Amino acid sequence: MKLISSSFKALLLLYLIFNILSCGSKITANKNDHFKIEKKKQNILFIAIDDLRPMLNSYGNSQIITPNLDKLAAEGVQFNNAYCNVAVCGASRATIMTGIRPSATRFVSYYTRADKEVPEAVSLHGIFKKNGYKTISYGKIFHNAKDFKNDWSEIDDTHTQFDYQSKEALKLIKNKPDRKRGPAFEYTEVSDETYSDGKTTNKAIQKLKELKKTEEPFFLAVGYVSPHLPFIQPTKYGELYKDKDLVMADNPFKPKNAPKQAVHNSSELRNMYMGIPKEGLLPTKLSKDLVRGYYASVSYTDVLVGKLIKQLDDLGLRDNTTIILWGDHGFFLGEHGMWTKHSTLNEAIHVPLIVSSPGMKKNVKTTAMTEYIDIYPSLCEIAGIEIPKYLTGTSFVPVLKDPNLEVKSEIYTRYRKGEAVVDHNYSYTEFVNKKGEPTNAFMLFDIKNDKKQNVDISKQPRNAKTVEKYREKLKAMRKQVNKNPIENIVK
């Protein structure tokens, strides 16, 4: 009896251990019938938001209502000094999804195709797929949905930025005398699910339910087109904002002393959307309407992201899922007289980046300098995947563990003929010629004392040594970027 009782106790103990371990791991038998514990792979929820600047409450800006994005920031690490490497959609996403820096001839425009420009590269989702992940893309991740398409296990690219719903807008588009896309903003009495982003959210929520039933690790990418122009959303989001709630730019002028290349004519807005003057400052009412439209689009996106993350929580997947949320670049709202992006000035390159990851710090903000080529190696490290040797980004996982750490001292960004280096003290931009050589057009901003970059101090004699210091930094970076052309990338 004692022998039977002891055996029963041993079996019971083994059963309990099995159940406890199976909550976070799998137990398999090897060829010697010994038990082996395999830790579950970390899931990735990869949330992309188009044209989102860090204008959230969690970033210290109270004008836009963003409770869900603020909640996510409280559940993870918020990067206050995150920057894109190129301030245009297609090129920025190509940089993120390949971990490769843009150059004067690589990742230049919105229609960039990474798989055509760097076919030897292993895409971010591709390396996860190679490591046993189910890779899924819903909405806008690349600008062109065919980009590295075969590296997705599943892709649904039926989203659209121009999903007008109002009768007025549809009538204008039907009868428009030119090739413009339509009005720059609209509000309609429809549900959240009517617009493209609402449909994308529902698809992603349904996919999470399916993934819950399997043991496959997943890399689920969900891309929102809002708040990209046109600013279109249900009426209730526009009603959140009265004129008194709108904060208008107090510096609608070119930075003092800056070269002419410092500003652009906001051609994306002026040339593509109806009712926008071809030149000059926009009328006050129109400016307010555009700012309201941007605010409303951000709030709409905030609600959709909240629904998505709530589903992740409700399914019990959060404890084994890293959420990373990023905006592909910033957006001017009248600062320096500009709208949209396409610049190396702060409003175009400063971006929101929030990471909520199991075992990492929560409800903290870091001032560590971070750039988008750092996302690829960071997610690889989180997932325990070997990082490709050709990547030049730096994993920010140490910062997730200790937000007081600095893993790099500066970031590099560019747009067309402008190349810039930014650190905690200065932002320096050089404008290059067609051969990629620096010209005598450059600008320097003391971002500690001139956060809005209103005065270019590069021509002041006392700053000559500072200009030369940052010029050398750009020269070295230019050499590094061009040293390894596409054909020499080593997998």
pLDDT in tens, the chain (491 residues): 344 455 544 444 444 444 444 444 444 434 444 333 346 899 999 999 999 999 999 999 999 999 999 999 999 999 999 999 999 999 999 999 999 999 998 999 999 999 999 999 999 999 999 999 999 999 999 999 999 999 999 999 888 889 999 988 888 888 776 667 899 999 999 999 999 999 999 999 999 999 999 989 999 999 999 999 999 999 999 999 999 999 999 999 999 999 999 999 999 999 999 999 999 999 999 999 999 999 999 999 999 999 999 999 999 999 999 999 999 999 999 999 999 999 999 999 999 999 999 999 999 999 999 999 999 999 999 999 999 999 999 999 999 999 999 999 999 999 999 999 999 999 999 999 988 888 999 999 999 999 999 999 999 999 999 999 999 999 999 988 876 544 545 44
Catalytic residue among 125, 143, 159, 228: 143
Is the bond preceding residue 227 a cis peptide, omega within 30 degrees?
yes
Query: Token digits for 252?
Result: 């609608």
Residues 315 and 448 in one domain: no
Cα–Cα dist 84/410, whole Å: 12
Tell me whether residue 217 is exposed, middle or buried, using C-beta atoms within 10 angstroms of its C-beta: 0 to 12, 13 to 18, 19 or more.
buried
Annotate 143-162 with DSSP letters as a single string. SSTTTTGGG-SEEE----S-
The answer as to whether 293 is a domain residue is yes
The answer as to whether 9 is a domain residue is no
φ and ψ at residue 348, rounded to 5 degrees: -90, -30
Beta bridge pairs of residue 421: 412, 428
Cα–Cα dist 265/276, whole Å: 12
Residues 345 and 467 in one domain: no
Cα–Cα dist 400/11, whole Å: 41
Beta strands 418-422 and 411-415 are antiparallel
60-85 burial by CB neighbour count: b if 16+ within 10 A, else e?
eeeebbbebbbbbbebbbbbbbbbbb
85 contacts 410 by C-beta, under 8 angstroms: no
The answer as to whether 197 is a domain residue is yes
CA-to-CA dists, residue 264 to 104, 337, 383, angstroms: 19, 9, 41
Cα–Cα dist 349/179, whole Å: 29
Assess whether 143 carries a catalytic annotation. Answer: yes
Assess whether 84 carries a catalytic annotation. Answer: no
Which alpha helices (DSSP H) does 143-283 contain, by range? 167-175, 196-212, 235-238, 267-272
Half-sphere exposure of 147 (CA within 13 A, CB side): 30
Q: How far is CA 45 from its chain centroid?
A: 13
3-state helix, strand, coil in the chain (%, to 5): 35, 20, 40
Cα–Cα dist 83/429, whole Å: 15
So what's the pLDDT on residue 177? 63
Between the two ends of the chain, the Cα-to-Cα distance in Å is: 64
386-406 burial by CB neighbour count: b if 16+ within 10 A, else e?
ebbebbebbbbbebbeebeee
Beta strands 321-327 and 350-356 are antiparallel
Domain limit, last residue, from 410, 431, 459: 410
Domain limit, last residue, from 369, 389, 410: 410
Residues 360 and 429 in one domain: no
What CATH number does residue 424 fall under?
Answer: 3.30.1120
So what's the pLDDT on residue 483? 65
Beta strands 339-340 and 332-333 are antiparallel
Residues 393 and 261 in one domain: yes
- Alpha-carbon torsion angle 47, 53, 54, 60, nearest 10: -140
The answer as to whether 239 is a domain residue is yes
Residues 210 and 262 in one domain: yes
Nearest to 323 by CA among 28, 69, 24: 69
What count of other Cβ atoms lies within 10 Å of the Cβ of residue 381? 16
Residues 266 and 287 in one domain: yes
Catalytic residue among 89, 125, 159, 380: 89
Nearest to 428 by CA among 367, 344, 349: 344
Cα-Cα-Cα-Cα dihedral sign, residues 434, 438, 440, 445: positive
Residues 423 and 395 in one domain: no
Domain that holds residue 146: 43-410
Residues 398 and 476 in one domain: no
Residues 480 and 331 in one domain: no
Domain limit, last residue, from 390, 410, 430: 410
- Does the pTM surpass 0.85? The reply is yes
Cα–Cα dist 234/229, whole Å: 15
So what's the pLDDT on residue 20? 41
- Alpha-carbon torsion angle 76, 451, 242, 303, nearest 10: -20
Cα–Cα dist 10/15, whole Å: 9
Residues 484 and 380 in one domain: no
The answer as to whether 475 is a domain residue is yes
Residues 361 and 430 in one domain: no
The answer as to whether 308 is a domain residue is yes
Cα–Cα dist 331/333, whole Å: 6
Query: Token digits for 379?
Result: 């997610």
The answer as to whether 17 is a domain residue is no
The single-letter code of the amino acid at 74 is A
Q: What is the largest CA-CA distance in the chain?
A: 95
Cα-Cα-Cα-Cα dihedral sign, residues 369, 108, 276, 226: negative
Residues 117 and 251 in one domain: yes
In the DSSP assignment, the letter for residue 111 is: T
Helix (H, G, I), strand (E, B) or coil at 369: strand
Per the structure, how many domains does the chain have?
A: 2
